[in-house]
């Protein structure tokens, strides 16, 4: 889930930025610090939005940089259990698929790709035995976050597509059309019953 968050922290501005106005130097340093930054509590930093305030700098002996107590706004994305996510299949493996969710990537175990017996084909696709539905690199999908592990530097996000309304976008459309046809058929049958 995306959040707009306000942070107050001391920002270490390197000497290479000393010629710039202080607020600009702090902003450039923040963009460098928070580029590709992830924290378990904060989430993945997407962008530094604005520097709200910068106090006077502090110099620490032995360190050539200056430290500025600053308040700034960030846009972050933090994975939340049961959240719906949209993404593109990056890679298919014999144990499942990796999906690019824009900010991070998640993994869908082969057993969570569809309500069917799924096998890995030689053409790098996952294929359902009964439904003949296939999942390949580049497919657009809707999934739900079912697991988040914070072991290591990057979180590991587990996803499922085995719930109604989830899966490859084409499957979702097919299911909607099928349900609409079934509802129309049931309504016709009910109408005929009422005429008798």
Provide CATH 2.40.50.140 ranges for the chain. Answer: 84-183
Query: pLDDT averaged over the chain?
Result: 91
pLDDT band for position 95 (cuts 50, 70, 90) = very high
pLDDT in tens, 42-70: 999 999 999 999 999 898 888 889 999 99
Residue 196 pLDDT: 61
Which residues of the chain does CATH 3.30.1490.120 include? 2-77
Q: Which is nearest to 55 in space by CA: 22, 78, 25?
A: 22
Prediction pTM value: 0.79
Which pLDDT score is estimated for 189? 84
Q: Please count the other Cβ atoms lying within 10 Å of the Cβ belonging to residue 141.
A: 24
Rounded CA separation 169/31 (Å): 35
Q: What is the pLDDT of residue 154?
A: 81
CA distance 21 to 28: 11
Residue 112 has pLDDT above 90, yes or no: yes
Residues 6+ apart with CB under 8 A from 190: none
Homologous superfamily assigned to 84-183: Nucleic acid-binding proteins (2.40.50.140)
Distance CA 98, CA 12 (A): 37
First to last CA, the chain: 54
- Mean predicted confidence (pLDDT) in 138-152: 93
Fold of 2-77: Dna Ligase; domain 1 (3.30.1490)
Res 87 pLDDT > 70: yes
């Amino acid at each position: 889930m995306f959040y707009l968050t306000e942070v107050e922290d001391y920002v270490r501005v390197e000497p290479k930025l000393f010629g710039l106005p202080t607020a600009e130097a702090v902003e450039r340093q923040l963009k460098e610090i928070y580029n590709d930054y992830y924290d378990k509590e904060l989430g993945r930093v997407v962008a530094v939005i604005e520097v709200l305030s910068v106090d006077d700098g502090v110099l620490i002996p032995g360190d050539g940089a200056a430290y500025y107590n600053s308040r700034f706004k960030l846009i972050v994305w933090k994975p939340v259990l049961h959240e719906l996510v949209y993404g593109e299949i990056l890679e298919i493996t014999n144990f499942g698929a990796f999906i690019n969710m824009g900010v991070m990537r998640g993994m869908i175990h082969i057993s969570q790709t569809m309500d069917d017996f799924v096998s890995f084909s030689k053409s790098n696709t996952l294929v359902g035995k009964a439904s003949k539905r296939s999942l390949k690199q580049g497919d657009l999908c809707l999934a739900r976050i079912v697991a988040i592990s914070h072991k290591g530097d990057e979180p590991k996000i587990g996803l499922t597509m085995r719930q109604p309304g989830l899966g490859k976008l084409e499957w979702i459309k097919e299911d909607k059309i099928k349900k609409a046809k079934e509802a129309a058929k049931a309504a016709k049958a009910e109408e005929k019953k009422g005429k008798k």
